[in-house]
Copies of this chain bind each other. A is one copy, B any other.
């Protein structure tokens, strides 16, 4: 089954990539941008067909590899 994992920096953690995008948008003539945060999204296609088991497997993948849980939060959704 397919899952979508979204990984964002935790609130309060400096996001230089987001700040750069915000600055670039300002330069391009988009003035009304209050904040930009950039993260990553990973679409997983797993053999596992049971939704709960697949989500548990994805959570393990996040803890072990995909996310740096010191500074990042992850969210798992069914795609």
Contact = CB atoms under 8 A, between A and B. Distances in A.
Interface of A: 6, 8, 18, 21, 24-25, 28, 30, 32-48, 57, 60-61, 64-66
Given A40-B38, A41-B8, A47 B18 contact: no
A45 B48 CA distance: 36
Report how many copies the assembly holds: 2
B33 A46 contact: yes
Given A21-B66, A28-B64, A28-B65, A34 B45 contact: yes
A32 B46 contact: yes
B41 A38 contact: yes
A67 B75 CA distance: 23
